[in-house]
């Protein structure tokens, strides 16, 4: 489903790097590098999906993390909370992406 | 020795050489950072990397050191550069009119970084970067809280975060609760109360820590340093949390320095 | 390129203590610093130190110290396992800038080149420490020629330039 995955550790927090993640229809760009934090990294979100650039989509989103530096790159994220039922990484990623649909 | 620095010869033989050799980064050139710019220029620092994308506004003039009435609308970088060059004409000043995240290679070259930023998120990122690159990080900040019925409470901090030693998370200064509250309040912060004199107290202490780290004139270099400022009582004291801080950093092991390692899954 | 190395003082202390120990037959000791690249090609950070066990030295009257294949293989394994560069290090017990012997100049570049072949995205090098200074050369990712070390910053609660 996702290829080229990698993990990065920073300040005791694990992140999953998802290169070239395909985004839902209607998004621009269509693909983007993404970084999933599957745990609460201390910013109040139980999990968070970061993007290498801000994504334009059908909905207006609150991009409240802009140019956040994690693991030698700058990342962006919108404010979105997913349900507790999404436990597997693939579920988390697709749950976060529903905000872009 | 250049007679200009005669009065600081107590810093030790060779002190001026190490001061002139060091590259210092100053992130944020507002109320705190502008004090640091001024003092480090007086002391004789010659290599600077300064970061601030903003221009001076009317509401900055109550505390922006070196700013004049005609500077309203001028880049804070230019004001900083003017202060430095006025005292050190041969200084090298790398002006970055961006957030530091847009010029990380410039920040990485610094030997000491002063963080004069507003948010815990910014501090957290700066410290993480400095830990990866084995850079001494000195953080300052102040705030004024209005409590109903009571006089405003003025507080601040000066923190020296050195690689291998407890970090701002170990010290309990950066916490998940503070980061979460900040993330929730994004875009709603508004203008925070700020005045010149507490910035001066904090910035002066920060500069003193940097000079001590470079020259070892006190022969008692210590880390971490966590000074807590009570502006109502005019007190700057060791934070009580230092007593309960682990000896080594729990968040940034020395083995994890350098660029992040991406492990294939 | 003005190549700078940053090293935690605690790691340097461990290294110096190890390198100063006597060996049953070698006149000098050898060790390996672990290192990582950074966002700047001219800045390398040291993240650890590995001693070479006594039994991995080889008797060689033509050199102050000589390590065997096992020591080198172990260093190479660290490159693969921990994704760290390897810096061959030994120490001269005098003040002032040290300089490589003819044996150093002949052998070290070959060793570092082997490291580079195994981990081309990582910096590798060899340095000689004295009591007050250091000398070194590095294979830096993206650069064909070896780069000379210009300065070392020793970082702790204070900052010291070697």
Whether B264 is covered by a domain: the verdict is no
Q: Name residue, tokens 């993007």.
A: A51
Whether A69 is covered by a domain: the verdict is yes
pLDDT of residue C53: 95
Query: Quick check: helix, strand or coil at residue C72?
Result: helix
Q: What size, in residues, is chain C?
A: 162
For the ranges A41-55, A77-91, C73-87, C132-146, which has the lowest average pLDDT?
A77-91
Chains contacting A (3 or more CB pairs within 8 Å): B
Angle between helices C69-82 and C102-118 (to 10 degrees): 40
Cross-strand partners of A101? none
Closest residue on chain B to A63 (Cα): B186
pLDDT at residue B253 is higher than 90: yes
Cβ-Cβ pairs closer than 8 A, B with C, add up to 84
Q: Is B176 on the interface with A (CB under 8 A)?
A: yes
Mapped to the 3 state alphabet, what secondary structure does chain B carry? CCHHHHHHHHHCCCHHHHHHHCEEEEECCCHHHHHHHHHHHHHCCCEEEEECCCECCHHHCCCCCCCCHHHCCCEHHHHHHHHHHHHCCCCEEEEECCCHHHCHHHHHCCCEEEECCCCHHHHHHHHHHHHHCCCEEEEEEEEEECCCCCCCEEEEEEEEECCCCCCCCCCCCCCHHHHHHHHHCCCCCCCCCCCHHHHHHHHHHHHHHHHHHHHCCCCCCCCCEEEEEECCCCEEEECHHHHHCCCCCCCCCHHHCCCCCCEEC
Q: Which residues 105-144 of B have a C-beta within 8 angstroms of A?
A: 121, 124-125, 128-129, 131
pLDDT of residue B147: 83
Query: Quick check: helix, strand or coil at residue C103?
Result: helix
Instruction: Taking residues B205-228, report their average pLDDT.
Output: 96
Closest residue on chain B to C33 (Cα): B255
Chains contacting C (3 or more CB pairs within 8 Å): B
Residue B56 near residue B72 (C-beta atoms within 8 A):
yes
Residues A56-69: tens digit of each pLDDT: 988 899 998 999 99
Least Cα separation, residue C54 to chain B (angstroms): 24
Closest residue on chain B to A42 (Cα): B176
Whether B262 is covered by a domain: the verdict is no
- Which chain B residues touch A79 with a CB distance below 8 Å? 183, 186
- Confidence tier at B178 by pLDDT (50, 70, 90): very high
CB contact under 8 A, A79 and B101: no
Instruction: Taking residues B118-138, report their average pLDDT.
Output: 96
Angle between helices B76-87 and B31-43 (to 10 degrees): 20
Instruction: Taking residues B86-107, report their average pLDDT.
Output: 97
Instruction: Taking residues B138-165, report their average pLDDT.
Output: 94
- Confidence tier at B1 by pLDDT (50, 70, 90): low
One digit per residue, pLDDT tens: chain A, 101 residues?
788 999 999 998 999 999 999 999 999 999 999 999 999 898 889 999 999 999 998 889 999 899 999 999 999 999 999 887 768 889 999 999 999 98
Q: Which structural domain range is residue A27 located in?
A: 6-100
Closest residue on chain B to A5 (Cα): B265
pLDDT at residue B160 is higher than 70: yes
Instruction: Taking residues C132-154, report their average pLDDT.
Output: 95
pLDDT of residue A67: 94
What is chain C's mean pLDDT, rounded?
94
% of chain B with per-residue pLDDT over 90 = 89
Q: Return the CATH number at B68.
A: 3.40.50.720
Which residue from B104, B112, B257 is facing C39, i.e. has the nearest CB? B104
Angle between helices B31-43 and B196-215 (to 10 degrees): 40
% of chain C with per-residue pLDDT over 90 = 81
For the ranges B57-66, B111-120, C89-98, which has the lowest average pLDDT?
C89-98
Cross-strand partners of B264? A6
Q: Is A7 on the interface with B (CB under 8 A)?
A: yes
Rounded Cα gap, residues B224 and B207, in angstroms: 15
What ipTM does the predicted assembly reach? Answer: 0.95
Residue B171 near residue B261 (C-beta atoms within 8 A):
no
Closest residue on chain A to B105 (Cα): A72
- Which chain B residues touch C158 with a CB distance below 8 Å? 212-214, 216, 221
Whether A11 is covered by a domain: the verdict is yes
Instruction: Calculate the alpha carbon distances from B162 to B37, B45, B167, B220, C102 in Å.
Output: 21, 20, 7, 15, 39
HSE-up of residue B14 (Cα within 13 Å, Cβ side): 7
More confident residue, C62 or C37: C37
% of chain A with per-residue pLDDT over 90 = 76
- Confidence tier at C66 by pLDDT (50, 70, 90): confident
Max Cα-Cα span within chain A: 36
Which residue from C8, C40, C161 is facing B21, i.e. has the nearest CB? C161
Domain count, chain A: 1
For the question of whether the overall pTM of this predicted structure is more than 0.90, the answer is: yes
Q: Which structural domain range is residue B57 located in?
A: 3-256
- The CATH number fitting domain C3-161, selected from 1.10.760, 3.10.20, 1.10.1740, 3.40.140: 3.40.140
- Confidence tier at B127 by pLDDT (50, 70, 90): very high
Domain boundaries, chain C: 3-161
Burial letters for C111-143: b for 16+ Cβ neighbours within 10 Å, e otherwise? bbeebbeebeebbbbbbbbbeebbbbbbbbeee
Cross-strand partners of C160? C154
Least Cα separation, residue C66 to chain B (angstroms): 27
pLDDT at residue B176 is higher than 70: yes
Residue B90 near residue B45 (C-beta atoms within 8 A):
no
Q: What is the dihedral of CA A73, B173, B189, B71, to 10 degrees?
A: -80
- Confidence tier at B187 by pLDDT (50, 70, 90): low
Residue B62 near residue B72 (C-beta atoms within 8 A):
no
Instruction: Taking residues B67-89, report their average pLDDT.
Output: 98
**B contact test, residue of C10, C44, C45 with most B CBs within 10 A:** C45
Domain count, chain B: 1
pLDDT at residue B190 is higher than 70: no
């Amino acid at each position: 489903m996702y290829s080229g995955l990698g993990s990065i550790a920073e300040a005791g927090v694990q992140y999953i790097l998802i290169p070239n993640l395909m985004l839902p229809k209607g998004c621009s760009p269509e693909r983007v590098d993404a970084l999933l934090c599957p745990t609460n990294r201390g910013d109040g979100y139980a999990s968070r999906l970061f993007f290498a650039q801000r994504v334009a989509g059908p909905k207006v989103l609150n991009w409240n993390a802009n140019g956040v530096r994690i693991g030698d790159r700058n990342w962006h994220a919108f404010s979105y909370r997913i349900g507790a039922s999404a436990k597997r990484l693939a579920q988390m990623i697709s749950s976060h992406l529903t905000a872009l649909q | 020795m250049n007679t200009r620095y005669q009065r600081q010869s107590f810093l030790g033989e060779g002190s001026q050489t190490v001061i002139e050799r060091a590259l210092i980064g100053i992130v944020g050139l507002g109320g705190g950072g502008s004090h640091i710019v001024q003092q480090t220029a007086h002391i004789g620092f010659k290599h600077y990397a300064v970061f601030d994308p903003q221009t001076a506004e009317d509401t900055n003039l109550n505390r922006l050191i070196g700013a004049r009435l005609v500077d309203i609308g001028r880049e804070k970088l230019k004001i900083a550069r003017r202060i430095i060059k006025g005292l050190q004409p041969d200084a090298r000043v790398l002006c970055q009119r961006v957030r530091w995240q847009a010029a990380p290679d410039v920040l990485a070259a610094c030997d000491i970084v002063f963080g004069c930023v507003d948010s815990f998120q910014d501090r957290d990122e700066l410290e993480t970067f400095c830990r990866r690159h084995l850079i001494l990080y000195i953080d300052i900040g102040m705030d004024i809280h209005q409590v109903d019925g009571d006089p405003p409470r003025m507080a601040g901090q000066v923190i020296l975060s050195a690689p291998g030693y407890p970090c701002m998370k170990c010290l309990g200064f950066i916490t998940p609760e503070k980061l979460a509250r900040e993330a929730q309040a994004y875009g709603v912060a508004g203008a925070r109360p700020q005045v010149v004199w507490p910035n001066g107290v904090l910035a002066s202490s920060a500069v003193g820590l940097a000079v001590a780290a470079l020259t070892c004139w006190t022969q008692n270099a210590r880390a971490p340093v966590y000074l807590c400022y009570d502006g109502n009582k005019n007190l700057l004291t060791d934070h009580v949390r230092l007593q309960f801080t682990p000896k080594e950093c729990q968040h940034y092991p020395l083995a994890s320095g350098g660029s992040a390692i991406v492990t294939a899954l | 390129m003005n190549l700078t190395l940053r090293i935690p003082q605690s790691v340097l202390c461990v290294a110096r203590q190890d390198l100063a120990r006597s060996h049953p037959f070698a006149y000098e000791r050898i060790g390996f610093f672990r290192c990582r690249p950074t966002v700047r090609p001219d800045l390398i950070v040291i993240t650890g130190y590995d001693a070479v066990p006594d039994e991995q030295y080889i008797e060689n009257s033509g050199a102050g110290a000589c390590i065997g294949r096992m020591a080198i293989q172990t260093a190479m394994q660290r490159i693969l396992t921990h994704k760290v560069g390897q810096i061959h290090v030994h120490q001269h017990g005098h003040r002032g800038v040290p300089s490589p012997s003819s044996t150093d100049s002949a052998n070290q570049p070959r060793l570092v080149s082997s490291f580079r072949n195994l981990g081309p995205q990582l910096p590798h090098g060899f340095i000689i420490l004295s009591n007050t200074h250091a000398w070194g050369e590095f294979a830096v990712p993206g650069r064909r020629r070896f780069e000379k070390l210009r300065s070392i910053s020793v970082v702790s609660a204070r900052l010291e330039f070697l």
